[in-house]
Structure 1
Amino acid sequence: MEPIKAAIEKARRQRGEHSSYSFSRGVSRKAEELADLKNIEYTCTFTHEVSRAELIANRVIAQEKKHIFADAYRMMRTQILSKLRHNNWSTIGITSSGPGQGKSLTATNLAISIARNVNHTVLLADFDLRRPNIRNLFNYEREQGLIDCIENDVPVEQVLFTPGIDGLVVLPGGHPVDESSELLGTPKVASMVREMKERYKNRIVIFDLPPMLLTDDVFEIMPMIDSMLFIVEEGKTKREEVTRCMDLLKGHNLLGTVLNKSHDKMSSYSYKTAYY
């Protein structure tokens, strides 16, 4: 683990960043304005109620009020929202070096945590077209998703679903495809991303992106996204992979690095997830 942490720290120093950010709230809005924020109407959105037990079984825990892992996501949320606010950003791309390192789970838990903040709504979008996984975390069985919007001109509103969590709407990926980089690089996708960013003033859009070192898919989308979050799994991600990804992320507003399955007793997040 130490070599991975060293690589992360080196990249942070090169960016001139620190491990913590100050957090300050702006002037409070009127109560009715906050209520309106959480009551955006998605007229075509399908409602898929998922039980608390199902979410916990899938390690989706950010909605829990008393859960040690949820506390880690709340702390991460606070730091990330401060950075977004400071830079007037509204979109986050989440990626990793390879598959199976927890990026989809991190994206989902972070999305729920931010949605629980009264100042924001969240759109969680699965852009990993080769291995879409977000819908599985919500036990969502309908197959339509982003790929149908791209290939068949299905309106985005018709494939969105809400999992019964206030302030959260999900855009699933749909069925997996192989020619994903060609599809993600089309003007249609660029227009969709722009619409997601601009439609609602106080909405945060979180993109679950493809891994960085398998295909060029992620590089088609990164220039359209305000900021990036990089996921590392302790014991799986290699130091040279971290170094290579940090080089590739230069110029893409890296918010920080999340160390999954961390057991570093010196870290205040030693139980599961550390944010650097």
Structure 2
Amino acid sequence: MPTAIAPRHIDINLARLHQLGMVTQEGGRTTVAEDFRTIKRPLLRNARGDGDVPAIRHGNLIVVTSAVPGEGKTYCAVNLAMSIAMEMDITVLLVDADVARPSVLKVLGLPPEPGLMDILLRDKTSLADVILKTNVPTLSILPAGRANKHATELLASRSMSRLLTEIAERYADRIVIFDSPPLLMTTEASVLASQMGQVLLVVESERTTQHAVKEALRHIEQCPNVNLVYNKSTAFPGSEYYGYYD
């Protein structure tokens, strides 16, 4: 008789994240924490509905992406997940979907683990097998998993579509944050974004060209709910994040 596999548990070094200037539950009202409170609020309204305004379809699936590498999308995805995990009645699943260059566990100071690729490559690996529980009670992580030369193609596969549907419908009360590949690096990134309820496009201040932003937006023009975060701005001293555009 098959036995259930207990979820794996990992400890995130929250003191280390705080020293790096990232959002943590015990980090207080830092500038970054306040910025992500502003960023998350409309995303949560879309995901859960607000008064007479219903929730949007798959609004609990939020992909964080960028035009090109190096704009800070993983940093934003982790901070957004940590910020939403502070809500009283919400759980968060952070998915590393940048399978060619996974960075979520690296940012968190954790070693590689099985994850998304293992589900897509092996029928016997289930979502429950590879989700990592953390010492933040409301935050779980789905790592990218083992490297595979067909990783980007797998993101556009039917298996991925089925997995996204399962996550959206089975965990309707959970917010799922996906750290996606950059939009101008792979066509699969736009395919992944098209299956999300909401898209958060990270734009690096004084580095990302207007042409790159317009081209990235063209790749996700079929997505009805796209928001831009202007990252690494020096408009205000001490703030790495400034600007939220719906």
Answer yes or no: same fold by TM over 0.5: yes
1:160–1:169 contact (8 Å) kept in structure 2: yes
Distance 1:157 1:245, change over 3 A: same
1:65 is the counterpart of 2:28: yes
Unaligned runs of 5+ in 2: none
1:62–1:110 contact (8 Å) kept in structure 2: no
Q: Which residue in the other structure is 1:185 paired with?
A: 156
- Aligned mates of 1:190, 1:143 — CA distance in 2: 22
Report 1:234-273 matches (<5 A): 234-265=205-236, 271-273=239-241
Q: After TM superposition, give the deviation of residue 142 of structure 1 in Å.
A: 4.0
Q: Give the aligned length.
A: 232
Q: After TM superposition, give the deviation of residue 242 of structure 1 in Å.
A: 0.6
Q: Which residue in the other structure is 1:45 paired with?
A: 7
Q: Which residue in the other structure is 2:144 paired with?
A: 173
- 224-233 or 45-54, larger mean C-alpha shift: 45-54
For residues 138-194 of structure 1, give each alpha carbon's deviation from its aligned partner in whole angstroms, at most 9, with x where no partner exists: 222143121111112322212111221121111010233332232112221111111
Distance 1:196 1:115, change over 3 A: same
2:7–2:131 contact (8 Å) kept in structure 1: yes
Q: Which residue in the other structure is 2:79 paired with?
A: 109
Q: After TM superposition, give the deviation of residue 212 of structure 1 in Å.
A: 0.5
Q: Which residue in the other structure is 1:231 paired with?
A: 202
Instruction: Classify the secondary structure of the residue corresponding to 1:107.
Output: helix
Report 1:110-149 matches (<5 A): 110-149=80-119
- Aligned mates of 2:89, 2:13 — CA distance in 1: 25
Q: After TM superposition, give the deviation of residue 52 of structure 1 in Å.
A: 2.0
Q: Which residue in the other structure is 2:169 paired with?
A: 198
- Aligned mates of 2:191, 2:216 — CA distance in 1: 15
2:113–2:145 contact (8 Å) kept in structure 1: yes
Q: Which residue in the other structure is 1:38 paired with?
A: none
Instruction: Classify the secondary structure of the residue corresponding to 2:181.
Output: coil
2:92–2:175 contact (8 Å) kept in structure 1: yes
Distance 1:117 1:183, change over 3 A: same
Distance 1:201 1:83, change over 3 A: closer
1:55 is the counterpart of 2:21: no
1:80–1:255 contact (8 Å) kept in structure 2: no
Equivalent of residue 44 in structure 2, options 81, 84, 91:
81
Distance 1:238 1:178, change over 3 A: farther
Q: Which residue in the other structure is 1:161 paired with?
A: 132
Structure with a larger share of its residues in helix = 1
- Aligned mates of 2:202, 2:224 — CA distance in 1: 15
- Aligned mates of 1:136, 1:76 — CA distance in 2: 24
Q: After TM superposition, give the deviation of residue 57 of structure 1 in Å.
A: 4.3
Instruction: Classify the secondary structure of the residue corresponding to 1:54.
Output: helix
TM-score normalised to the size of structure 1? 0.78
Q: Which residue in the other structure is 1:30 paired with?
A: none
Q: Percent identity?
A: 28
Instruction: Classify the secondary structure of the residue corresponding to 1:75.
Output: helix
RMSD: 2.0
1:125–1:206 contact (8 Å) kept in structure 2: yes
1:116–1:166 contact (8 Å) kept in structure 2: no
Instruction: Classify the secondary structure of the residue corresponding to 2:119.
Output: helix
